Amino acid sequence: RPLPLPTRSTFFHIAHISAQIHTISFGLQDLMTGGRLVLPNFLSLDTCKELEFVHKSCSVVGYKPHVLSTTLSHLIATNCAELIIPFISIRDSLREVVEDHFGCEFELFVEFTGLISWTQGATIGWHSDSNQPYLRQRHYSAVCYLNNYGEDFEGGLFHFQQGEPHTLVPSVGTVVIYTADEQNIHCVDEVTSGERCTLAMWFTRDHLHNEDARLIKQLSEAFIYCDLLHLLEKGVSSESRYFDKKLQSSSQQQDNGGAMRSTHENYEIKLPANESYSKGINSIKKKASSNEWYNSFYKGVVDIEAVRCNADDKYMNSSALVNTLLPKAASSTMYWFVHDDQSQVAENESSCKNSLAELLERNGDNICELRLACLGFECFQEIECLMPTSCDPAKMSFGGRAEVPSSSNLQDVTLSFNGQIAGRSKLETPLMLQFKEEPIPYVFKSCLHALSVVQYFVWRKSIKLSLDADVSKSSSMTIFERHSDEQPNFQLGELVAQPAKKLCRSSMVLSESYQENIKTWRKIINSGRISHQQSADLAFLDKLEFVSFIQQWEDYIFDLWKMLLYSLPYWKASSCIFHVKS
Ligand SMILES: O=C(O)CCC(=O)C(=O)O
Ligand SMILES: [Fe+2]
């Protein structure tokens, strides 16, 4: 899975082109005023789409109203550590550009990496990026634009207070780099519709604010039970059909035959456990060729996961892959997306008990469900799962029961209860999706799982359209074969013809005037030409084709996960996160 990794000479080339382009746009002779650098097409369209996929799958409510964010630390904390992989080459490249551009003889550290999106109403006045005591360590800023002004959102132009360029029109792939001090006071106009997505990074000379050190620590803790060699030693074997396909592709890739050594130019690493590690890799190769490795690897992880997870979780033991790699929810309040003119009031009130639930009923819903709804997907969950036992039943009210859709036994119930407790439950409860009144015959572990698959589908579909690539359709058969065993209904990760139990529509806030509300939300979080095209794509959604993307999503996540586990020892050894060539 090659990520674009421009060389130094490419950067100069890009800088040269960018100077030309911006001479046209701004009537400038020199782009470099005030140490600013604008690089159009720094990121490829596909890279931007991939980051957008990560953000739209995992974002939580940000640090201020109308803003959503996805930090690397959040990804690790929510069992999505593998999703930091798409960032790694970009971080390397950007750090290098910033070091080159500002002639840093010292090495810079990444202070922060995050995806940030601004929705309708978001704005920021004149400021410099180190203007608070707790931001003093920020020396350089880089903002990469992941989507387009005028297509994906309106408003949101970037201005420097003085000097040139005065105004930047965000366009997909462009990065702007500037010093974080008062030389570069800037602002962003209010976003008036749609969702403006960026990758924001800050760099520091202060090693105490090195984000890598914190992230590596967090990763090490997250993977404390996941030691590769330890798992290999366990050598658990099981039936292999599940991993046959992965195995073929991976045994081809793994033939790097030799010493474990980083090819990153700044780091010549000799791992402390170099010898035993390369022995381990050799044994991986051997085992891979006898179809054992992935099974043992997986079994190991799953066994440990099972111990770590609540033993009476009835959904735990169905599909190894699905259970191990699925997102886990952060605190439920981080998903409540409130949006109207009263959001400030909402913020103040949300500290009071119960008022949060009331506010949500008026103004918001969980961002995962909103995103699904805006793409035409509705969530259905078992009603018992939506009723937290710890919650006082007197505080819950159920009403507004509507007709049962004739094509299935999904039931339409309007739910209204304490947002906080129920919210968490909702985010961790298995669900089925319905698209245009058609139930999709698959049980997702949670809203976050469903959202990630749907966003993956949206991402890959748009690639397919733009490149006209032939995405294999055969995997829908594979997935049927894979789950052909006799399994009880409503098992996580299973394809089900008909759910055994009645499921309820779980959109609690939007049910009253569902379609009207969705229209408004679409304008807020998803508008413009691309999403129009996306809705058109989704309108042609064939549910079997969609199901085939579930397998592709698993393969994608699994590949990233392998890369993460492969890279982590290098990162630990060097205290630095960088792209490890395998
Ligand atoms: O998104 C942008 O264009 C800049 C955002 C910004 O100024 C900031 O987050 O400090
Ligand atoms: Fe800023």
CA of 128 to the centre of ligand 2 (A): 6
In a domain, 531, yes or no: yes
CA of 127 to the centre of ligand 2 (A): 6
Q: Ligand 1 in contact with 142 (CB < 6 A)?
A: no
In a domain, 552, yes or no: no
Please state, in angstroms and rounded to a whole number, the distance separating the CA atoms of residues 554 and 287. 22
> Does 232 lie in the same domain as 202?
no
In a domain, 551, yes or no: no
> Does 237 lie in the same domain as 204?
no
Q: Ligand 1 in contact with 145 (CB < 6 A)?
A: no
Q: Residue 168 CA: which ligand is closest?
A: 1
In a domain, 274, yes or no: yes
Spatial contact of 146 and 19, defined as CB atoms under 8 Å apart: no
* Residue 23 in this model has a pLDDT that exceeds 80: no
Q: Which residues contact 66 (CB under 8 A, 6 or more apart)?
A: 118, 119, 120, 121, 122, 191, 339, 343
- Which contacts (CB < 8 Å, 24+ apart) does range 74-80 have? 74/330, 76/215, 76/218, 76/219, 76/222, 77/218, 77/222, 77/330, 78/327, 78/328, 78/329, 78/330, 78/448, 79/222, 79/325, 79/326, 79/327, 79/328, 80/327
Q: How many C-beta neighbours within 10 Å does residue 410 have? A: 20
The CA–CA distances, whole Å, from 563 to 82, 83, 129 equal 8, 10, 33
> Does 265 lie in the same domain as 321?
yes
Q: Residue 69 CA: which ligand is closest?
A: 1
* Residue 9 in this model has a pLDDT that exceeds 50: no
> Does 108 lie in the same domain as 25?
yes
Closest atom of ligand 1 relative to the 141 alpha carbon = 10
CA of 198 to the centre of ligand 1 (A): 8
* Tokens matching residue 569: 């020892």
Please state, in angstroms and rounded to a whole number, the distance separating the CA atoms of residues 68 and 367. 9
Q: Ligand 1 in contact with 198 (CB < 6 A)?
A: yes
* Tokens matching residue 30: 């020199």
Q: Please give the average per-residue pLDDT across 407-435, as a whole number.
A: 49
Residue 550 confidence (pLDDT): 83
Alpha helices in 60-194 (DSSP H): 72-77, 85-101
> Does 492 lie in the same domain as 403?
yes
Please state, in angstroms and rounded to a whole number, the distance separating the CA atoms of residues 39 and 165. 12
The CA–CA distances, whole Å, from 439 to 193, 376, 454, 495 equal 31, 12, 14, 11
Residue 534 confidence (pLDDT): 55
* pLDDT: which is higher, 543 or 102: 102
In a domain, 555, yes or no: no
> Does 388 lie in the same domain as 299?
no
* Residue 364 in this model has a pLDDT that exceeds 80: no
Q: Ligand 1 in contact with 503 (CB < 6 A)?
A: no
CA of 9 to the centre of ligand 1 (A): 28
Q: Which residues contact 372 (CB under 8 A, 6 or more apart)?
A: 378, 379, 433, 447, 450, 451, 454
In percent, how much of the chain has pLDDT > 90? 30
Q: Ligand 1 in contact with 129 (CB < 6 A)?
A: yes
Please state, in angstroms and rounded to a whole number, the distance separating the CA atoms of residues 207 and 260. 27
* Sheet containing 377-382, strands listed edge to edge, beginning at the edge strand earlier in sequence: 410-411, 503-505, 377-382, 431-435, 438-439
Q: Ligand 1 in contact with 184 (CB < 6 A)?
A: no
115: which strand partners? 70, 199
CA of 188 to the centre of ligand 1 (A): 7
> Model confidence at 564, in pLDDT bands (50, 70, 90)?
confident
Residue 259 confidence (pLDDT): 26
> Model confidence at 552, in pLDDT bands (50, 70, 90)?
confident
366: which strand partners? 336
* pLDDT: which is higher, 199 or 552: 199
Spatial contact of 463 and 469, defined as CB atoms under 8 Å apart: yes
Residue 195 confidence (pLDDT): 92
Residue nearest to atom 3 of ligand 1 (CA): 158
Residue with tokens 């420097």: 160
Residue 572 confidence (pLDDT): 85
In a domain, 567, yes or no: no
Q: Residue 128 CA: which ligand is closest?
A: 2
Q: Ligand 1 in contact with 178 (CB < 6 A)?
A: no
In a domain, 203, yes or no: yes
Low-confidence winner among 102-116, 175-189, 343-357, 526-540 (lowest mean pLDDT): 343-357
> Does 241 lie in the same domain as 387?
no
Residue 428 confidence (pLDDT): 74
Residue with tokens 């605190």: 331
> Does 269 lie in the same domain as 411?
no
CA of 117 to the centre of ligand 1 (A): 10
Tell me the Cα Rg of the chain: 24
Closest atom of ligand 1 relative to the 176 alpha carbon = 3
Most confident of 43-47, 234-238, 338-342: 43-47
| Per-residue pLDDT reduced to its tens digit, 318-355 | 334 445 678 888 877 788 777 654 444 444 444 433 33
Residue with tokens 């984000």: 211
Nearest partner of 156 among 34, 67, 54, judged by Cα: 67
Please state, in angstroms and rounded to a whole number, the distance separating the CA atoms of residues 36 and 211. 24
* Cα dihedral across residues 365, 371, 373, 377: positive or negative: negative
* Tokens matching residue 63: 């640090």
433: which strand partners? 379
Q: Please give the average per-residue pLDDT across 477-481, as a whole number.
A: 21
Residue 272 confidence (pLDDT): 29
Closest atom of ligand 1 relative to the 196 alpha carbon = 1
Residue nearest to atom 7 of ligand 1 (CA): 187
Q: Please give the average per-residue pLDDT across 32-56, as a whole number.
A: 90
Residue with tokens 């914190």: 214
Please state, in angstroms and rounded to a whole number, the distance separating the CA atoms of residues 165 and 183. 13
* Residue 43 in this model has a pLDDT that exceeds 80: yes
> Does 385 lie in the same domain as 450?
yes
| Per-residue pLDDT reduced to its tens digit, 211-229 | 999 999 998 877 654 444 3
Please state, in angstroms and rounded to a whole number, the distance separating the CA atoms of residues 362 and 372. 19
* Residue 44 in this model has a pLDDT that exceeds 90: yes
Please state, in angstroms and rounded to a whole number, the distance separating the CA atoms of residues 69 and 199. 10
Residue 371 confidence (pLDDT): 86
* Cα dihedral across residues 341, 343, 345, 346: positive or negative: positive
Question: Three-state DSSP class for 278?
Answer: helix
Nearest partner of 79 among 407, 452, 520, 456, judged by Cα: 452
Please state, in angstroms and rounded to a whole number, the distance separating the CA atoms of residues 338 and 189. 21
Most confident of 128-132, 148-152, 277-281: 128-132
Say whether the peptide bond before residue 170 is cis (omega within 30 degrees of 0). no
> Model confidence at 101, in pLDDT bands (50, 70, 90)?
very high
> Does 392 lie in the same domain as 290?
no
Closest atom of ligand 1 relative to the 129 alpha carbon = 10
Of 111, 115, 143, the one to substitute when testing ligand 1's pocket (max ligand atoms within 8 A of C-beta) is 143
Spatial contact of 85 and 91, defined as CB atoms under 8 Å apart: no
DSSP H or E run through 381: strand 377-382
Q: Ligand 1 in contact with 160 (CB < 6 A)?
A: no
Q: For the purposes of burial, counting CB atoms within 10 Å of the CB of 442, is it exposed (0-12), middle (13-18) or buried (19 or more)?
A: buried
> Does 477 lie in the same domain as 381?
yes
Please state, in angstroms and rounded to a whole number, the distance separating the CA atoms of residues 576 and 95. 12
Residue 569 confidence (pLDDT): 80
Of 36, 71, 141, the one to substitute when testing ligand 1's pocket (max ligand atoms within 8 A of C-beta) is 141
Residue 105 confidence (pLDDT): 76
Closest atom of ligand 1 relative to the 118 alpha carbon = 1
Residue 124 half-sphere exposure, CB side, CA atoms within 13 Å? 19
Please report, for the domain that includes residue 69, its CATH number. 2.60.120.620
Q: Ligand 1 in contact with 175 (CB < 6 A)?
A: no
Report the mean per-residue pLDDT for the chain: 65
CA of 186 to the centre of ligand 2 (A): 6
Q: Which of 212, 241, 257 lies at the terminal end of a domain, its last residue?
A: 212
Please state, in angstroms and rounded to a whole number, the distance separating the CA atoms of residues 116 and 446. 23
Q: Ligand 1 in contact with 188 (CB < 6 A)?
A: yes
> Does 472 lie in the same domain as 420?
yes
Q: Ligand 1 in contact with 5 (CB < 6 A)?
A: no
CA of 41 to the centre of ligand 2 (A): 21
In a domain, 579, yes or no: no
| Euclidean distance between the first and the last CA atom of the chain, given in angstroms as a whole number | 11
Q: Which domain holds residue 45?
A: 8-212
Spatial contact of 431 and 506, defined as CB atoms under 8 Å apart: yes
Spatial contact of 391 and 422, defined as CB atoms under 8 Å apart: yes
For the CA atoms of 505, 508, 509, 514, what is the dihedral angle to 10 degrees?
Answer: 10
State the total domains in the chain: 3
